[in-house]
Structure 1
Amino acid sequence: MARLEYHSDDSEVAARIRERRGGKLTPLDRMLLHSPAIADGWNSLLGAIRARASLADDVRELAILRVAALNGADYEWNAHEPVARRAGMTLEQTEVLREHAENAGGVLNPGQRAALAYTDAMTRCIEVPDEIFLELRSHFDDQQIVELTATIGTYNLVSRFLVALHVGRSDQGAEADTIDEDGAVA
């Protein structure tokens, strides 16, 4: 069960969130609405990452899934795995992100492997070694690197928020299964 009650809200902020999500609020949204200012900023940031960035969808979802796996955010994983599949990732590719990233060489293309290494470094160590950044730079331009970095950082925020407050935990029944129209958490 979530550590705080889910908030019900008909405010302008909630309306903006519903608009981005196709009319629905997720458990994450309902938790964020305890602080309308945070919920509004979150909605704007995630809207930019999910819908207005130039980063390829498969690379964005690779980073999101890997962050979810590293941080034990099952709700985030379950919401984004179908999005990653629609973005062209195979079941084998998503499985390697969850359990066997060291075996990604034969499953992911070179750009995806560079994004995976960057995601791991940012999430596990924070400081990214030069060799990982140089490999990333050989596959992505400056805008894509900024967008990937923002995606990784933002989804670390999302996953840590979900895990700390037990949002969408599987012991919550049907409430845990409420996700947005394209299956994503944030």
Structure 2
Amino acid sequence: MSDQPRIAPLPEGDCPPGVAGVVAALGPLNIFTTLGKNAELFDAWVGFGGHLLASKTICPRIRELIILRVAARTGCDYERVHHERIGRENGVTEAEIEALGRNLRDYAWDPGEWPVLAAVDELHTTSTISDGTWARLAGVLDEKAIIEVLMLIGQYTMLAFALNAMKVQPESS
């Protein structure tokens, strides 16, 4: 099976206005120049995704733990490569990054982080959250934060599926 992208990214100079603005601000990342081939959908997605990344409802470290676990569960190299760097910037250690790719029980997670990581795994396994995990989430997060955690897991799972299917390649270092 080829690793070549199934949809080639737009050349930087050919980006529609909304895509061009994001590329100017954040760089010509393959995620933007590929998804930007559907400009209307891109505009909606970047607003939602941007809100989740900028939100203060959950701390950036928790957000990055979630994204990295989703990347591991979905085998999404693009998410993993980008969010390992962002995770490090937000306090995720090398040992934790490595542990997120294995059985979660093999690492001594902080009790406040464990329910969030368990939620990622349960959603990926059963498409829901057990009563026990829900109770543990409610013990560490308020309802607003739980909603955001669930939407963040869903957003990055959806994105991973699309990136994997299109074979969007991580940028070269």
In structure 2, how many angstroms separate the alpha carbons of the residues matched to 1:177 and 1:31?
12
Letter in 2 for 1:58: R
1:11 to 1:147, Cα distance in 2 relative to 1, 3 A? same
* Residues 3/125 of structure 1: CA separation in 2 closer, same or farther (3 Å cut): same
Matched, 1:10 2:15: yes
Gaps of 5+ in 2: none
Distance (whole Å) between structure 2 residues aligned to residue 65 and residue 81 of structure 1 = 7
Q: Cα gap change, 1:45/1:72 in structure 2, threshold over 3 Å: closer, same or farther?
A: same
Percentage of identical aligned residues: 26
Q: Tell me the residue number matched to 1:171.
A: none
The code of the aligned residue for 2:122 comes to A
Q: 2:116 maps to what in 1?
A: 115
Structure 1: runs of 5+ lacking an equivalent: 169-175, 180-186
1:19 Cα deviation after fit: 5.1
2:127 alignment partner AA: I
Q: How many residues align?
A: 168
2:79 equivalent to 1:76: yes
The runs of at least 4 aligned residues of structure 1 exceeding 6 Å deviation read: none
Q: Which residue of 2 aligns with 1:136?
A: 137
Instruction: Tell me what 1:152 maps to.
Output: 153
User: Is this contact kept in 1: 2:66–2:116, CA < 8 A?
Assistant: yes
Measured in 2, the distance between the counterparts of 1:11 and 1:78 equals 26
In 2, the alpha carbon distance for the partners of 1:100 and 1:27 equals 30
Aligned counterpart in structure 1 of residue 70 of structure 2, from 52, 67, 70: 67
- The Cα of 1:164 is off from its aligned counterpart by 0.5
Q: What TM-score do you get using the length of structure 2 for normalisation?
A: 0.90
Q: 1:34 and 2:37 equivalent?
A: yes
Matched letter for residue 165 of structure 1: M
Moved more, 4-13 or 41-50: 4-13
Correspondent of 2:47 among 44, 47, 57: 44
Name the Cα RMSD after superposition.
Answer: 1.6
Give the direction of change, closer, same or farther, for the CA distance of 1:158–1:178 in structure 2 (3 Å limit). Answer: farther
